[in-house]
Amino acid sequence: MKHYAKYIVACLIILAIIALGYAFVVRGERKDSLVKDMANLEKSADQSELPETIVQEEVKDPVNTTLVAGGDIMLSRHVGTKIRAAGDNAHSFKNIASIFSDADIAFANFEAPFYDQGPPVTKGMVFKAEPETIEGLELAGFDMLSLANNHFGNQGRKGMEYTYQHLSDNNINYCGAGMNSSEAHAPAMIERNDLKFAFLCYNGIPPESYAADADTPGLAWAQTTTEQVTADVKAAKEVADVVIVSMHHGTEYVVDPVWEQKAIAHAAIDAGAETVIGHHPHVVQKVEKYNDKLIVYSLGNLVFDQMWSQETREGAIGTYSFTDDHLDSIEFQVVIIEDYNQPRLASETEAAVVLKRMGVEDKILE
């Protein structure tokens, strides 16, 4: 019996030892867990006290750029005669030069080729600008001229090539013409305010023989078909922020644009052009807003000798205001040509008549 009692006591002692050991292990594990929990809690608290890092994209201030566009410039015939009589090669631009020179980009259509061969042209329809009259373009600060018009070939291929060189020598860019068709259809680039502006210029008025081909100097031709214009604009969009299309088209002395003008202008806008600027009719024409883009079909004459009607003495200068790559508005100033060559700013009464004909209210088109 004593042995049995000893056995029971021994078993109880063993069980007690096991129980104490188990309790010690569990307590240790709980302590470790508690320590870990406290550490995690402290870590979380430390992290919650850290300021949250917010990555913000740099916000750039909007960039404003102005393009001032004028109508047809012809420095031959009676204009050239008046310039020589004044003894001032920049005479024709005296009253309006600052409007263009104050702009970021100054643009117009140049209707007569420069050439240094032969006597000055004083009459007729075959034009030639004397090389020294480029001083007027320099005074006005023209940055870009369209050569895509029906008089650019009046002095033949040599006159074209002379004009390219003469403009380049005087740091004036040109568009719509070149030593071959690839050059004529290539965008002429100007960079302002870190924005790249591409100019594409086209002629749709005969003779078509002035058009450039694969290895012959000439101009960019676009009369009734739109495929080439569409392709050119899309290609220009790949390298430029803003694409501007200029076209020499329409019916002379008529205020309403014809369907060919509209077809080409609409195709240019659909392909990605920001605006279209028109020349050739020698009078101002109606403006249009198409797919939220502004089209001016004709700015009329800027420097010309067509004094035989009030309408051909009138022209508009458009100040195109861009915010970044978007055209916000065009503000128009009307000019009246005096003495066969010299434009002046119109009075308010004179301007109101011209702007009404264009379909523009309050001088601003938005």
pLDDT of 206: 96
DSSP state of 221: B
Q: What is the DSSP string of 247-316?
A: EE-S-TT-SSPPHHHHHHHHHHHHHT-SEEEEE-SSSB--EEEETTEEEES-BBEEE---TTSTGGGEEE
pLDDT of 1: 42
Give per-10-residue mean pLDDT for the chain (366 aa). Answer: 46 48 43 44 45 63 96 99 98 98 99 97 98 99 98 98 98 98 98 98 97 96 92 98 98 97 98 98 98 98 98 98 97 98 98 96 80
- Residue range 3-58, pLDDT digits in tens: 444 544 444 455 544 444 444 444 444 444 433 444 443 444 444 444 555 556 67
Q: Tell me the chain's radius of gyration from C-alpha atoms.
A: 37
Q: What is the DSSP string of 38-99?
A: HHHHHHHHHHHHSPPP---PPPPPP-EEEEEEEEEE--SHHHHHHHHHHT-TTGGGTTTHHH
Q: Please state, in angstroms and rounded to a whole number, the distance separating the CA atoms of residues 212 and 218.
A: 4
Q: Please state, in angstroms and rounded to a whole number, the distance separating the CA atoms of residues 286 and 299.
A: 9
DSSP state of 213: B
pLDDT of 26: 40
Measured between alpha carbons, how far is residue 209 from residues 149, 174, 180, 203 in Å?
12, 20, 13, 11
- Residue range 301-346, pLDDT digits in tens: 999 999 999 999 999 999 999 999 999 999 999 999 999 999 999 9
Is the pTM for the entire model greater than 0.75?
Answer: yes
pLDDT of 53: 56
pLDDT of 303: 99
Q: What is the DSSP string of 93-122?
A: GTTTHHHHHTSSEEEEEE-S-B--SSSPP-
Tokens encoding 209: 């023989």
Looking at residue 245, its amino acid is: V
pLDDT of 243: 99
pLDDT of 56: 63
Q: Please state, in angstroms and rounded to a whole number, the distance separating the CA atoms of residues 254 and 262.
A: 14
CA nearest 269: which of 244, 251, 235? Answer: 244
Q: Please state, in angstroms and rounded to a whole number, the distance separating the CA atoms of residues 31 and 347.
A: 95
Q: Please state, in angstroms and rounded to a whole number, the distance separating the CA atoms of residues 91 and 89.
A: 6
Preceding omega of 343 cis (within 30 degrees of 0): no
Are 321 and 66 within 8 A, CB to CB? yes
Alpha helices in 199-251 (DSSP H): 227-237
Query: How open is the CA angle 129-132-137, to the nearest 5 degrees?
Result: 80
Are 309 and 325 within 8 A, CB to CB? no
pLDDT of 3: 46
pLDDT of 255: 96
Q: Please state, in angstroms and rounded to a whole number, the distance separating the CA atoms of residues 185 and 212.
A: 9
